[in-house]
A and B are shown apart, each in its own frame.
Chain A
Amino acid sequence: AQRVTQPEKLLSVFKGAPVELKCNYSYSGSPELFWYVQYSRQRLQLLLRHISRESIKGFTADLNKGETSFHLKKPFAQEEDSAMYYCALQTGANNLFFGTGTRLTVIP
């Protein structure tokens, strides 16, 4: 069965510091992985997907199949990065399996 684990419910970093939000997954097939973000009073929105290999708002995430991880990283955190972040896995079906989320707070 598929599973997504985000071990940190809360994460606080100072502005300008590096940030890493952890995500591990369990899936026997070839996964497609995503990071979704929810800013305060806004709806859930896609941040990035591993298949695109792009950097969005300075964030990157590399799929590590050996460690079954898809950690989200940014070298210099900004105050506007404060939000709820969800890692999600899409299998052969179309629906997404989400982790429990990490609330990131960037301290000015």
Chain B
Amino acid sequence: GAGVSQSPRYKVAKRGQDVALRCDPISGHVSLFWYQQALGQGPEFLTYFQNEAQLDKSGLPSDRFFAERPEGSVSTLKIQRTQQEDSAVYLCASSAARGGRPTDTQYFGPGTRLTVL
């Protein structure tokens, strides 16, 4: 079956523009994660959903970042008034795990490379 997909794969934005990044998780996966990967760094956690509930948003760097998963499937990460420091690869991952169960494998999407000029 299809893996995690993300769109767009590349996005160039002018400083101050708003952007929206989409993630389609593996069908039936309960958990969905967003990570930010700056150049030369490992992925850093942004936020986590279990179905439609956003259970952890402690990694979002500022209130310009907003994520939603209204129907418990597709998720959108929105960045308002983009800044140059937002330039990074944004990774989405999904897993079948529910909270409290043993950890399950996270399957990653190809990422969206955001460049803010």
Give the interface of A toward B (CB within 8 A): 4, 9, 32, 43-46, 49, 51, 86, 88, 90, 93-101
With A32-B103, A44-B91, A90-B103 known as contacts, the answer to whether A97 contacts B45 (CB < 8 A) is: yes
B56, B107, B109: the one contacting A95 at CB < 8 Å is B56
Pick the contact of A94 from B3, B91, B99 — CB < 8 Å?
B99
Closest to B46 in A: A95
Task: Given A43-B109, A43-B111, A90-B103, decide whether A101 and B42 contact each other with a Cβ distance below 8 A.
Answer: yes
When distances are taken between beta carbons in the complex, the residues of chain A under 8 Å from B106 are: 46, 96
Q: Mark B5-41, 1 if CB is under 8 A from A, else 0.
A: 0000000000000000000000000010101000011
Assess whether A93 is in contact with B91, with CB atoms less than 8 Å apart: no
- Give the nearest-CB partner of B98 in chain A: A94
Which B residues lie at the A interface, using CB under 8 A?
Answer: 3-4, 31, 33, 35, 40-45, 48, 55-56, 59, 91, 95, 97, 99, 102-103, 105-111
Which A residues are CB-close (under 8 A) to B31?
Answer: 94
Number of inter-chain CB pairs below 8 Å: 55
In the complex, how many angstroms separate the beta carbon of A96 from the nearest chain B beta carbon? Answer: 7
Q: Given A43-B110, A45-B108 in contact, is the A95-B42 Cβ separation under 8 Å?
A: no
Contact indicator B108/A44 (Cβ below 8 Å): yes
C-alpha spacing A4/B102, complex, angstroms: 21
| CB-based nearest A residue for B40 | A100
